[in-house]
């Protein structure tokens, strides 16, 4: 039987050293990969992808919204809904927020909406569900509708294109 001297330092068993080295390597790789390739630093996460039903019809929000484009009729909603809770859970800001309701784009996706008559466009963040009026593809906040000249007419033919995810502060910036 061998006795150790008090205070002697013994190396740990080889299997513990190997396990620790592998664990550290995996942890470092996952951190580096997550930061380097995700491209989501400072961005909000999309949500609102669970199916839901309105007026007896079931809608299935898109899990893969990349490349989404659609043409159709846009409308706007304002004072009657101002301050009320949206489907995403936030309060609707008709006058300051560049937001929109869409039936299938996830919440926090940014969409470029172009008025096909005027050529004007606005970037909005999806934060609500709708419109559920026949033939409508997107419902804009009054602020967003004003940007593309649609407040007076109430409706306009538009092109909607999903272009990204909002920043953590909820902004949809160009570029």
Q: What pLDDT, in 10s, does the model give residues 10-47?
A: 445 444 334 433 333 333 333 332 323 334 556 678 99
Cα(56)–Cα(165) distance, integer angstroms: 30
CATH code, 83: 2.40.40.10
Are 99 and 172 within 8 A, CB to CB?
no
Q: How many domains does the chain have?
A: 1
**Spatial distance between the Cα atoms of 82 and 120, rounded to a whole number of angstroms:** 24
Q: For tokens 């294109």, what's the residue?
A: 161
Q: Is residue 18 part of a domain?
A: no
Say which residues have a Cβ less than 8 Å from residue 150's Cβ, sequence separation at least 6: 74, 76, 115, 140, 156
* Overall pTM surpassing 0.75 (yes/no): no
Mapping DSSP to helix (H, G, I), strand (E, B) and coil, where does residue 31 land? helix
Q: What confidence score (pLDDT) does residue 9 get?
A: 47
Q: Do you find a cis peptide bond into 131, omega within 30 degrees of 0?
A: yes
Classify residue 12: in a domain, yes or no.
no
Q: Answer yes or no: is 121 within a domain.
A: yes
- Domain assignment present for residue 70? The answer is yes
Give the max Cα distance, the chain: 95
Residue 58 lies in a domain: no
Q: What is the pLDDT of residues 93-152, one digit of tens each?
A: 888 889 999 999 999 999 999 999 999 999 999 999 999 999 999 999 999 999 999 999
Domain interval for residue 133? 65-165
Going 77 to 78 to 84 to 86, the CA torsion angle's sign is positive
């Amino acid at each position: 039987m061998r006795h150790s001297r008090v205070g002697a330092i013994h190396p740990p068993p080889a299997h513990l050293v190997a396990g620790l080295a592998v664990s550290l390597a995996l942890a470092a790789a996952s951190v580096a990969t997550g930061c380097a390739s995700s491209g989501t630093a400072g961005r909000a996460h999309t949500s609102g992808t669970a199916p839901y039903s309105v007026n007896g019809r079931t809608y299935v929000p898109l899990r893969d919204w990349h490349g989404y484009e659609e043409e159709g009729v846009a409308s706007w909603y304002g004072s009657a809904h101002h301050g009320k809770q949206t489907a995403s859970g936030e309060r609707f800001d008709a006058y300051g927020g560049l937001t929109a309701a869409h039936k299938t784009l996830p919440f926090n996706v940014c969409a470029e909406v172009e008025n096909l008559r005027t050529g004007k466009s606005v970037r909005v963040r999806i934060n609500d569900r709708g419109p559920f009026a026949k033939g409508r593809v997107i419902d804009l906040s009054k602020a967003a509708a004003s940007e593309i000249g649609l407040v007076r007419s109430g409706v306009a033919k538009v092109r909607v294109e999903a272009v990204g995810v909002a920043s953590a502060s909820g902004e949809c910036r160009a570029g």
